Structure 1
Amino acid sequence: MDDTTPVAIIGAGPAGLAIAACLRQTGQDFVLVEKEQQAAPAWRRHYERVHLHTAKRYSSLPFMPFPKEYPRYVPRDLFAAYLDAYAQRFDLRPRFGETVRAITRRGRSWLVDTTTGTLHASNVVIASGNNAEPLMPGFAGADIFKGRKLHSADYRNAMPFADRPVLIVGMGNTGAEIALDLVEGGARPTISVRGGVHIVPRELLGVPIQMIGMAARLMPQRINDALFPIILDLALGRLEKYGLKRPKQGMLQQISEASRIPTIDIGTVRKIREGAIKVAPDIAEITEQGARFADGGHGEFDAIIFATGFRPGHARLLEPGVQPGRSGVNARASELGLYLIGFHNPVTGLLREISIEAKQIADDIGLRRNRKKAAETLPV
């Protein structure tokens, strides 16, 4: 089935829904495709206890705030319900079960090859997200481990691990929260931390850390990176004695240069201080019964959970050399009519950034459409 559309949107997660709503509000047509059978599938697969780490006031999508009765930090199920209501409000009807195989340039337009046909589009918005494909690093000895191995994408709750020693590899937000979930569910978790990690409380003196990050942008990055360690030591204590060291890069420097956001603590640090969650250094090798660490220590575990992140996966859809640049609108994206949304996670929050980008992209697509119409009416 071949179709022609002004805009093809790839992915019906929060970013795809946001740009679709913005286009709908400005009277622009589009086709929204999603490889799964429901909107925001990644969110629905998240482990059960997950909440937004950013405040609901700054995390809603364009034109529709969260309901007043929702808590400040929205849990997974309520967020999924919000996204369903959002799609219904703006009459967003994704074409489910349609996987994009390739996006190729044809003149000044695009061909989007999917499992059900080809879309001819003047503009393409890639909204498939940073978490499209789980990353599983190759550790020496991983094949001989006799326990259970899984990526954090496959973790649901602590029930299967109750009273068992579990190794979590990685202490980003996912690894830290899974460790907390495990210990509260009766498991005995250890987190392997490679290098350093920046940790911030979810709130500082009752103020969401997201809002503090927004205010901090008014000062130069180097000043913030000098001040934050002092403030965080007062808020969380000095964590080096528990095996948690800070990276050499400052926190904001790391966000801007490596797109690595800090770990937002919701209780994991307290459990580490209490000894309920143990911290180990990087893994040297995995053994039959557990893991050997970089400091020579060894631990025995019944399961290893790899909280080792994801990769976007969209680059393989594009022809070599075709890149729209960073997320949002820039000269390259506007020239090509090829946009990324939801791939930039600043200190002010991913969902807030998605809302900003969605409006900018919809406006830019409108300007491209108007320029094209004006060019077509010029006398030859």
Structure 2
Amino acid sequence: MENQYWWREIEGKQAHDPLFIEKMTTQSSSSSRCVCVPGPVIVGAGPSGLAAAACLKEKGVPSILLERSNCIASLWQLKTYDRLRLHLPKQFCELPFMGFPTDFPKYPSKKQFVEYLQCYANKFDIKPRFNETVQRAEFDSKLGLWRVKSVAGDGKKQITEYVCRWLIVATGENAEAVVPKIEGMGEFGGSIKHTSLYKSGDEYRGKKVLVVGCGNSGMEVCLDLCNQNAKPSLVVRHTVHVLPREMLGKSTFGLSMWLLKWLPIRFVDRLLLIVSWLMFGDTSRLGLDRPSLGPLQLKNLSGKTPVLDVGTLAKIKSGHIKVCPAIKRLKHHAVEFDNGRKERFDDIILATGYKSNVPYWLKEGDMFCKEDGLPRRPFPNGWKGESGLYAVGFTKRGLLGASMDSKRIAQDIAQDIERCWKAEAKHTSAFARSLLPHSSNS
């Protein structure tokens, strides 16, 4: 009954007024509560969520940041390998209003990037609510507000429902590991581990390891295994563009962005491929066939990122890393490939990527695609949905895209608040004038 009174109270206090003071109402059960939020609720405390919170704070807009893990940037801190570095130069990975320390290298390490994010959160006084997993978020059309239900993961199982006018989805494209089903996985016998659980090749010394997936992670894990005296092989199921991380004395990404200011994308692609051929030779001879579309065109159309080589290609050329076709099935410590060849392996590492988890908890039908959990509208228009719904970190353009969207979102919400203030001031002024005594002629 108390909860029913709470909702009547909200309806009576103008549901569209953003200037609610945060208030908690505890139901008869101490394991459930309702929180009315004066600003947006942000789901996900990775780099995108931190950027959104900082941009809002710069506009004077308060927010609540929910994170299912026990730390910021949990993907980086808990689910990445030790040798990981930023694939792009640091100037392309900065969050709004704060650059990297000048003494950081051009490509900061995992540890340095996490340190940067922690300093960023401290600078903007961002304090996420950790161990809160959002189970459901839906728009209540009667109230004109979002209702976001979360469950605390600290053992208490406390349920909280946040009520807010704006909802920012910042869980990103890489929320859940993709683990493919391969015939015979149950009988393989060795370990089968996703890269989210891989830390170092040290535990694989002397072992034959099959890495499935030839993206940046798969390539780097193979290189790490080589450096730790393991014997890796790489499954290449599809075509792939491998580019040098730097060319002509510049980062490949930075050079591409500069060239695109002056040349059409197809000419920039052609130049990238010519320089790559001069540096690497014909990669198809190594089992790495290139797609028919150029690397930048393919990125724009499908979001598929080219591999930026950090030394793996040299190991493939020297024979330290073997390239294999797609897997047909697994047997006891053995793999049968599509071409009929069979080979023994001790362990398998799945570098098969990640996916969005938005369709599992966001109950709306227009902004996000249910199949892949990404915004339906392509970049740069995927940041804004209907009824106060926003998305940040889904551009397939890394932290640069997340920073751009964070600024747009903060500006849009600040303007929405200003419109509400003006409407409320106009309403209050009209009401006050109605109370004044009417002047009369004597």
For 1:222, which of 256, 266, 280 is the aligned residue? 266
The answer on 1:266 being equivalent to 2:300 is no
8 Å contact from structure 2 (residues 383, 392) kept in 1? no
Task: State the one-letter code of the partner of 1:361.
Answer: I
Gaps of 5+ in 1: none
Gaps of 5+ in 2: 1-32, 152-158, 369-374, 431-442
Task: State the one-letter code of the partner of 1:131.
Answer: N
Q: List per-residue Cα deviations over 1:164-213 (Å, max 9, x = no partner).
A: 11000000010000000000011000000012111111111221112022
**Equivalent-residue separation in structure 2 for 1:129 and 1:54 (angstroms):** 18
Which residue pairs with 1:3 in the alignment?
35
Q: Secondary structure at the match of 1:54?
A: coil
Which residue pairs with 2:436 in the alignment?
none
Which residue pairs with 1:370 in the alignment?
418
For 1:255, which of 299, 302, 320 is the aligned residue? 299
The count of aligned residue pairs is 377
Which residue pairs with 2:384 in the alignment?
333
Counterparts of 1:1-380 in structure 2, within 5 Å, are 1-5=33-37, 6-45=39-78, 46-107=80-141, 108-115=144-151, 116-218=159-261, 219-323=263-367, 325=375, 326=377, 330=381, 333=384, 335-346=386-397, 350-379=398-427
Shift of 1:376: 3.4
Shift of 1:377: 4.0
8 Å contact from structure 1 (residues 328, 340) kept in 2? no
Structure of higher RCO (CA pairs closer than 8 Å, 6+ residues apart)? 1
- TM-score w.r.t. the length of structure 2 is 0.82
Q: Secondary structure at the match of 1:319?
A: coil
Task: State the one-letter code of the partner of 1:113.
Answer: K
Q: Which moved more, 1:64-73 or 1:335-344?
A: 335-344
Q: Which moved more, 1:45-54 or 1:321-330?
A: 321-330
Q: Secondary structure at the match of 1:244?
A: coil
Task: State the one-letter code of the partner of 2:340.
Answer: G
Shift of 1:334: 5.2
- TM-score w.r.t. the length of structure 1 is 0.95
Instruction: From the superposition, tell whether residues 375 and 328 of structure 1 become closer, same or farther in structure 2 (CA, over 3 Å).
Output: farther
8 Å contact from structure 2 (residues 43, 67) kept in 1? yes
Q: Which moved more, 1:236-245 or 1:312-321?
A: 312-321
Q: List per-residue Cα deviations over 1:301-325 (Å, max 9, x = no partner).
A: 1000010011110122122514254
Percent identical pairs in the alignment equals 36
Specify the structure having the higher radius of gyration (Cα): 2
**Equivalent-residue separation in structure 1 for 2:233 and 2:382 (angstroms):** 46
8 Å contact from structure 1 (residues 21, 90) kept in 2? yes
**Equivalent-residue separation in structure 1 for 2:381 and 2:281 (angstroms):** 41
**Equivalent-residue separation in structure 1 for 2:122 and 2:254 (angstroms):** 30
8 Å contact from structure 1 (residues 13, 40) kept in 2? yes
Q: List per-residue Cα deviations over 1:25-45 (Å, max 9, x = no partner).
A: 111010011111111111012
**Equivalent-residue separation in structure 2 for 1:231 and 1:58 (angstroms):** 22
8 Å contact from structure 1 (residues 179, 277) kept in 2? yes
8 Å contact from structure 1 (residues 52, 74) kept in 2? yes
